[in-house]
Structure 1
Amino acid sequence: MEMERINEDTIRVLINNSDLDERGITVLDLLGNRKQIEGFFYSILEEVDSEHQFQQDGSVTFQVLPNKNGLELFISKGEHIDQDDSFSNSTTIDNNDIKNADNYSLNNNDDAYTRNFIIKFNSFEDFISLSKVLRIENGASNLYFYKSKYFLELTFFVNVGGTDEESIKDSLAIAYEYGNKFDKNSRFFDEHGKRIMDTGALELARYYFK
């Protein structure tokens, strides 16, 4: 692990894959558990902040850039972003309510229904790139891992808050620039894969991989 003091308020830490292995942790572990992410980052802060300047301040932010060798972590003094607040604007949906069918009505309202799509990525970096440009106001996103590939389930709430078929087409056009359509559903991945980001995968990726 390498540390560099960028300026008075920022520390840059290079965490390679061997550093993660020594701590018995993987990038996938971090992505699947927000509390584990925060705990891991603060443990790194304790190691590199030998003079306790950042810890005494009590107000720090973390920015992460993933790469093939591990992670590049920037630790800065500043306003602390509460994790729960950062997701307060994301729409949630219980996955048990997502049916096998491509669409179904919501709350017995014939005018409102969902549309589900699966996007397959060639690399995790492609998913991160998509998260920076695609924002879904009325919907949910789950990220799955299956046979060394990443799959994003996009769920749109149609006729809710201005979301319609045309806006879905626009969103999918963006998504297909970074991945490909995959003809499976969430039940398949729940049975055969591993869900590593739940409900707000796009928001979570934007927050931690800036």
Structure 2
Amino acid sequence: MRLERLNYNKIKIFLTFDDLEDRGLTKEDLWKDSQKVHQLFRDMIDEASAELGFEVSGSLNVEVYALQAQGMVVIVTSTEHEEIEEEFNDDYIEMQVTVDECQELFYVFQSFDHLIDLAKRLQGLKINGGTIYCHEQMFYLLLMDEEVDAELNIDTIIALLSEYGTPSTMTIHRVEEYGKIIMKHSAIQQINTYFK
């Protein structure tokens, strides 16, 4: 689990599927109202309080974004209420939850050589799209859902991506803002053209 403070009343939590598995949860469990899910949110808030000084007063708005094969991003916003009924104790947290699924694959690579090796393997699957960014001496590959042939097994593509890189815990928006675009369109095709 990775925590990041966005502003005074908002934090971002990145959970990998391994984090969920360690807690005995699956991706599908998050959509259910179970005791395990409540405990997960309590643990996240406790850790955010300890690490980031994130104090909860009032209710919480929770937005959950599922990233394909990468995990989940949870945005938690504390909304203060002027009047809190006295009958509620400290264990009570009111939440409004929004769930969305991201239709993109966003991976980070230690070196450009790893991208070259990956591009050769993806060429055999007829994947030619993608955008490549560079940020803090790391390389990022963004593959949108429409750039992947619908007939291909997404798990095969994810397995190849994971062989050469790792799912990015940094959001695409941050990389776009602070990084540089190396190849904007058809990145896999360009790599295979220039690095035969």
Interval containing the TM-score (normalised by the shorter chain): 0.3 to 0.5
Q: TM-score, normalised by structure 1?
A: 0.41
